[in-house]
Structure 1
Amino acid sequence: MTPPLGIVEGFFGRPYSWAERTALMQFLAPHGYGFYLYAPKADAFLRRRWREAHPAEEMARIGTFATACRAAGVKFGVGLSPFELHFDFTPETKTDLTRKLAALGAAGCEWLAIFFDDMRGDLSDLARRQAEIVDFAAERTRAERLIVCPSYYTDDAVLDRVFGQRPADYLADLGAALDPAIDLMWTGEEVCALEFSPGHLARVAEQMGRKPFLWDNYPVNDGPRMSRHLHLRAFTGRPAVIGPHIAGHAANPASQAMLSAIPLLTLAASYAEGEAYAYGRAFQEAALTVCGPELAAQLTADLNVLQDANLGDLSEARRAKLRERYAAFDHPAAREVLGWLDGAYAVTGEELQTQ
């Protein structure tokens, strides 16, 4: 069983261009990707400056992308992160939220995601406060589906160290306070989960009072450490047997849009093929589909270097040799490798703090 499968563009650093975003969406649509959540961390008007209107030109681009999604049979959604609104849900911020929801609806937002991640959450009544915000939004949005990312969206204790200790029973309290029709996102046992198991997902579903909607942090490669690697390998640890245990599966792609399509195709294959899925073969078939035979062969030959070696540890001579290889290909995936080699996709710690 393949659950609703799609993209959550939710990474830090350099966002996709609208052309890259559209090309990735249109490429994946025939392969089972049925939704696209636009939520780049670099879009300040969805995050720290959410109370301000998008510039008219940018809102027009969002509307154009929404139209392209509809034409491809893909549900278009927006991830709105109303930064620390649970500390300041006043008549003024309610007015701002109403205005923002109306603007997103007018632009063609079919799914609305409200993200409470990446913000302080150590309040004893956090679940109640956030449920109040979600209920308010649910009454005012045109969206047909509402998805919420909790402040604590994984068992990983790193969130407690960074954003404050999670309230006791937070996940259960939030689930109990929300309409059962509203989805709750979950990244797994860790922020970047190695695998998802039916047993773990069943436990989370019991806490939430609904099946979790997966936010899968692969092949994302943002952050100072991960941006030094290209995530190209096929998905593992997402067996088809988890399908009945989840409400949806949103993959957070890598900073390189076209290269992301390689592992993303393998996620669809993992569900479709079930026990017959083989990740090595899946990678080869996906690389061939995305890149053609010659570039796929080159990526296969260099896979260990591109994914496992740290870009900062590569000698200039090694980088020059790689540049020479990929400069020979007139393909967007090859150009992304070249950009990565030149540091165009590097993400700094400052961006993690300010976006």
Structure 2
Amino acid sequence: MMRRTAMIGACSPLVAGLLMLSTNPVAAQPVTRPALFPEPVSIELKRGAITLDDAVVLVEAPGVDRATTELVRQILTTAGVTTITTARQVPAIPDRVHILLGSGDSAIVRAALTRGGTTLDPHAEGYTIAATATGRGGLITLAGHDADGLFHAVQTFRQLAKRTAIPAMVVQDHPAMPIRGTIEGFYGAPWTMADRRKHLDFLATVKANTYVYSPKDDPYARDRWRDAYPAATLSALGTLAATARRNHVDFVYAISPGPSVCFSDPADATALERKFDALRSIGITSFYVALDDIEYTKWNCERDRTTFGASGAEAAGIAQSRLLNTVQADLIAKNPASRPLIMVPTEYYDAKESPYKAALRKHLDPRIVVQWTGTDVVPPAISVPDAKAATKAFGRKTLLWDNYPVNDYAQTTGRLLMAPYARREAGLSGELTGILSNPMNQEAPSRVAVTGVAAFAWNDTAYDAARTWHAAARELAGGDDRATAALLTFFDTQHIAPTFGSQPWQEQAPLLKALLDRVREAIADGDAAARRDAIADLAMRADAIAGAPDVIRSGTVDPGFAEQSRPWLDAMQLWGRALQLTAAGLDAAATGSTAAPRYFAEARRIAAQAAAVQTIKGATRFDGAIRIADGVLDRFVADAPTLIAVDGPAPQR
């Protein structure tokens, strides 16, 4: 303090005053750019900030839907606002915080945006947020290009309202891809209706706009596709459709008639239309015909052979096009404003030219949306040239069916896939109509990757995989720092992303492996201080791994996540204990203690218990042993007794 005072004394009065102001503990905090996910197209910071006090005034322009207004009220209540009053106009200089909701066709919204020095984002689903501080008050304008855009603006406001103060700012934002979301298209146990409702609520928070109902094990959507749904199931689907509408998510119903359909039989086309009519009666207006995972080397009926000739790729493309075109025409006839039919072709897994793709390109109604999984069923990467090749092959921009993080194939047995969404090239928005993620049988754990999919589809050029991964953890953790760290520790043990081949496209446990490699190197180098520090770091990481499951189960993290991850958390805790004992064994060996062999033996015993933990029976397509950082953690526990020579019985492998 003496030195600071002396320096001030040597300066001019103006400089001295500025220095005193800059060190004043009550001086205003700097305005900082908020972290928002998905990353908005544009954020411009202004001077000042707005604090949400106990009382806020809500101004609602004409035409705002009730669900959007109610969401704003929920956000304000969660932020600690106790009194929400309403007004019809915004004062010239608000003495309290005013929040204005509306779309760009409202005069009051346009005037507020002008006051904020901005204009409305002009894109579909676009929005503008203008926050202006005015002394003790402020005006936050949430303006949507349309109803969907306004809802997205509110979702951004939800993130802003978690801050102590909302910076004065202008956000201009809109999606890069028109279709963003998930397709429940996996084999094995479908999600429950409760899980689907939670998923639709989640999709809203990441600005996704599409959910496709396509569980392979729904008999009324595949094996018994011609049969009507039982009344109770139909009612439950209607409830889901209503939840989707409230969340501004398009609920798309998919049917899979391929295993038994007769393409040329008018009765089967009528059966499809009848099925869609029943679903339309409960509020579902978007439809999908799935023709994946079927044979086109044989017909299902003699009539198709007579109509289309010998079975084969080209004939299948022609036959499928005829049926789909009929269904598309029926949709338009019944509702001219209906969304286009979506289909997934039998050749969905590459962009190579073929007679089948040529037939679709020539005969399929150009309005029909075609899905494509990339360069393989589970592609290790997708580039812009890959997508361009698909556009050429199918004669239209495709809708990417990304088979990540789905875990219904043999290579995923015992795994949750929770690495960041990565290795999809920025710029794909120019060549795709959108991306739908095929998630896991476990709904809540799927949100980790789906958060990345939605963020990439919203703004692929600014997408940051690692930061979005961390944001997904924080959201699941309810904003709690300790729970966020525990989740990230868990995610690292489930980082591997397999393909249908032997080589994964994302490596296993990269953070843990880096630490274990440093431990090996420090021990091998022979420096006592480095070895001691490395073993201490190992012990800390072991404590984090062993303790993470209890933190995740403590109640801060979404309970559905903890329940659906239960055997993985059980196994992780055991592996963490095995690593704790391994670290103790290495420390004992490094100090010449004869206790080292006992520590290593107990570590092996607990590791064997951990390796024996099984998946929840029937929860996924393939049951089996749970895998936790396999190839990394298990290998280190096995190798550790050989890293430092110890007295006592020879280590057993």
TM-score range (shorter-chain normalised) is 0.7 to 0.9
Q: TM-score, normalised by structure 1?
A: 0.85
| Aligned length, in residue pairs | 331
Could you say what secondary structure the match of 1:140 adopts?
A: helix
Q: Which position in structure 1 is the counterpart of 2:562?
A: 334
Give the drift of 1:15: 1.0
Taking the aligned partners of 2:242 and 2:260, their CA distance within structure 1 comes to 30
Q: Which position in structure 2 is the counterpart of 1:77?
A: 252
Q: Which position in structure 1 is the counterpart of 2:327?
A: 137
1:298 correspondence with 2:472: no
Which residues of 2 match residues 258-277 of structure 1 at below 5 A? 258-272=444-458, 274-277=460-463
Segment of structure 1 superposing worse, 327-336 or 340-349: 340-349
Give the drift of 1:85: 4.5
Find 2:296's aligned residue among 114, 117, 121. Answer: 121
2:435, 2:457 within 8 Å by CA — same for their partners in 1?
A: no
Could you say what secondary structure the match of 1:283 adopts?
A: helix
Could you say what secondary structure the match of 1:145 adopts?
A: coil
2:486, 2:548 within 8 Å by CA — same for their partners in 1?
A: no
Query: What one-letter code is carried by the residue in structure 2 that aligns with 1:38?
Result: Y
Give the drift of 1:346: 3.0
Give the drift of 1:184: 0.6
2:441, 2:620 within 8 Å by CA — same for their partners in 1?
A: no
2:407, 2:620 within 8 Å by CA — same for their partners in 1?
A: no
1:149 correspondence with 2:423: no
1:327, 1:338 within 8 Å by CA — same for their partners in 2?
A: no
1:291, 1:333 within 8 Å by CA — same for their partners in 2?
A: no
- Structure 1, residues 50-75: CA drift from partner, whole Å, max 9, x if none? 01111110011011111111111111
Query: What one-letter code is carried by the residue in structure 2 that aligns with 1:129?
Result: A
Which residues of 2 match residues 162-241 of structure 1 at below 5 A? 168-241=354-427
2:343, 2:368 within 8 Å by CA — same for their partners in 1?
A: yes
Taking the aligned partners of 2:280 and 2:464, their CA distance within structure 1 comes to 41
Q: Which position in structure 2 is the counterpart of 1:317?
A: none
Query: What one-letter code is carried by the residue in structure 2 that aligns with 1:5?
Result: R
Give the drift of 1:87: 4.3
Q: Which position in structure 2 is the counterpart of 1:353?
A: none
Unpaired segments ≥5 residues, structure 1: 158-166, 311-320, 350-355
Taking the aligned partners of 2:379 and 2:359, their CA distance within structure 1 comes to 24
Could you say what secondary structure the match of 2:254 adopts?
A: strand
Query: What one-letter code is carried by the residue in structure 2 that aligns with 1:334?
Result: A
Q: Which position in structure 1 is the counterpart of 2:140?
A: none
- Structure 1, residues 102-154: CA drift from partner, whole Å, max 9, x if none? 11222322221100001111233001110111012113235422111001101
Unpaired segments ≥5 residues, structure 2: 1-174, 298-310, 499-545, 571-613, 624-653
Could you say what secondary structure the match of 2:494 adopts?
A: helix
Find 2:287's aligned residue among 105, 112, 124. Answer: 112
2:419, 2:497 within 8 Å by CA — same for their partners in 1?
A: no
Taking the aligned partners of 2:433 and 2:263, their CA distance within structure 1 comes to 31
2:181, 2:436 within 8 Å by CA — same for their partners in 1?
A: yes
Query: What one-letter code is carried by the residue in structure 2 that aligns with 1:45?
Result: Y
Give the drift of 1:347: 1.2
Q: Which position in structure 2 is the counterpart of 1:160?
A: none
Give the drift of 1:339: 5.1
- Structure 1's 154 and 308: CA in aligned 2 closer, same or farther, altered over 3 A? closer
Q: Which position in structure 1 is the counterpart of 2:176?
A: 2
Please report the RMSD computed on the Cα atoms of aligned residues, expressed in angstroms. Answer: 2.6
Q: Percent identity?
A: 28
Could you say what secondary structure the match of 1:33 adopts?
A: coil
Taking the aligned partners of 2:269 and 2:456, their CA distance within structure 1 comes to 43
Q: Which position in structure 2 is the counterpart of 1:66?
A: 241
Q: TM-score, normalised by structure 2?
A: 0.48
Taking the aligned partners of 1:275 and 1:91, their CA distance within structure 2 comes to 46
- Structure 1's 220 and 309: CA in aligned 2 closer, same or farther, altered over 3 A? closer
Larger of the two Rg values belongs to structure: 2
Could you say what secondary structure the match of 1:247 adopts?
A: strand
2:418, 2:491 within 8 Å by CA — same for their partners in 1?
A: yes
Taking the aligned partners of 1:323 and 1:53, their CA distance within structure 2 comes to 47
Could you say what secondary structure the match of 1:240 adopts?
A: coil
Give the drift of 1:16: 0.9
- Structure 1's 271 and 75: CA in aligned 2 closer, same or farther, altered over 3 A? closer
- Structure 1, residues 72-97: CA drift from partner, whole Å, max 9, x if none? 11111011101334546424323322
Taking the aligned partners of 1:145 and 1:242, their CA distance within structure 2 comes to 21
- Structure 1's 139 and 276: CA in aligned 2 closer, same or farther, altered over 3 A? closer
Could you say what secondary structure the match of 1:184 adopts?
A: strand
- Structure 1, residues 29-61: CA drift from partner, whole Å, max 9, x if none? 132200111011111100011011111100110
Taking the aligned partners of 1:102 and 1:47, their CA distance within structure 2 comes to 17
Q: Which position in structure 2 is the counterpart of 1:343?
A: 615
Q: Which position in structure 1 is the counterpart of 2:275?
A: 100
- Higher share of residues assigned helix: 1
- Structure 1's 173 and 309: CA in aligned 2 closer, same or farther, altered over 3 A? closer
Query: What one-letter code is carried by the residue in structure 1 that aligns with 2:347?
Result: Y
Taking the aligned partners of 1:136 and 1:309, their CA distance within structure 2 comes to 40
- Structure 1's 111 and 309: CA in aligned 2 closer, same or farther, altered over 3 A? closer
Taking the aligned partners of 2:292 and 2:458, their CA distance within structure 1 comes to 31
Could you say what secondary structure the match of 2:377 adopts?
A: coil
Taking the aligned partners of 2:330 and 2:357, their CA distance within structure 1 comes to 24
